[in-house]
Chains A and B, each alone.
Chain A
């Protein structure tokens, strides 16, 4: 057993864990943050995508021990109280989910993309989400959802600047 401590969504967490514990299970089982989904277990599907030190990673292929002393962000941190992040709003507006299993990973990847590139074209979006598999939507609505978020967050920023 070993002791790990890491900031998750801005809050300090700490636990006694086995070194083999995967980050996805630390988040879901140890911390109860079940927003992060546990999917293929082979780093293919991307349902488990979270941020580690600001970069999207697949938490089924990251040891919790590796995150010791680091910063993790999960889908639970996207909304600000009742105010959803533009990517979450986009997925609602453009019907970017059906079963919802891939959605937490999609959202974290989309948020990271828009932070880096606030106005991505369709090809850029499709490449960015190529590590997140969706078996429902055929991706069309997910791409639209991310475009929606890009357009509306830019508009929101303009409105805020005008106030």
Chain B
């Protein structure tokens, strides 16, 4: 029987209360949202907080909405809410494609955007999505709010920029006209972590050139879940098959996958090349209004 080690439990009724509880109880206190990352870690004693602060009552952080030329996603948004979001379906198809392969529908009823990002598992799909889209994390503490670029959010495996008495409350994304996005993942079986995964967005200018793009990579040891060298190679050019193949090859070379039970290094690099090319190709087609 797997049970967590003993801990104290409190519920927060507001963000202010949650950050105040974190400040009062120190670094051994942890927030728990859906619990589908943290509780398994606690069962295995990979995490051993002395206090859990339950933030499931903070339904005011469960939203996906447009605000001016941005999309705001609340940290307590469940994965199921991301999958079903009409706002995200309109602007960023990458989300539904990623969510459909995150865990399973029952886990998605419970797991949250904020919890997934703060767990900071190197294989976590939304981390790659937000890195591809160059989102901005909004982090609250008792002294106020600060923004951190999503590409600076992860400071290492299972480590983030969120400090001991801080809380991720929102992620913001720019709305990009004339853009398309896509997500590709290979997993051993339904609901598993990726062997490798890649996401992308492509934004085209009036002449069909790439005005901007983003690439996200999960589970393959990519710096900040991305590959900026490949992005730079494509930006300003046309999304031709050759250009995309070159960028995909840069991603495959630049990432640092580990050999594990999911596969050897050369196989993972091969997957990265294939998946990046597919994600970019479909993103560009969507930006042109061609692909479903």
Contact = CB atoms under 8 A, between A and B. Distances in A.
Interface string B114-155: 000000000000000000000000000000000000000000
B2 A57 contact: no
A56 B109 contact: yes
Interface in A6-55: 18-22, 25, 41-44, 46, 49, 52, 55
* Interface majority SS (helix, strand, loop, mixed), chain A: mixed
A130 interface: yes
Contact of A131 (B6, B9, B56, B104): B104
A62 B35 CA distance: 7
B289 interface: no
A20 B5 contact: yes
Contacts of B190: 130
Contact of B2 (A19, A21, A42, A55): A42
B19 to A, nearest CB: 20
Interface stretch (B36-44, B85-93, B171-179, B217-225): B36-44
A52 B56 CA distance: 12
Given A57-B106, A128-B105, A63 B2 contact: no
A41 B2 contact: yes
* Interface majority SS (helix, strand, loop, mixed), chain B: loop
Given A61-B39, A65-B9, A130-B190, A46 B106 contact: yes
Interface string A67-91: 0000000000000000000000000
B241 interface: no
A55 B6 CA distance: 28
A43 B107 contact: yes
Interface string B178-210: 000000000000110000000000000000000
Contact of B6 (A20, A22, A132): A20
Given A46-B104, A131-B103, 15 more contacts: A2-B9, A20-B6, A25-B3, A41-B43, A42-B43, A43-B36, A43-B40, A55-B80, A57-B110, A61-B110, A62-B110, A63-B32, A63-B35, A130-B105, A130-B191
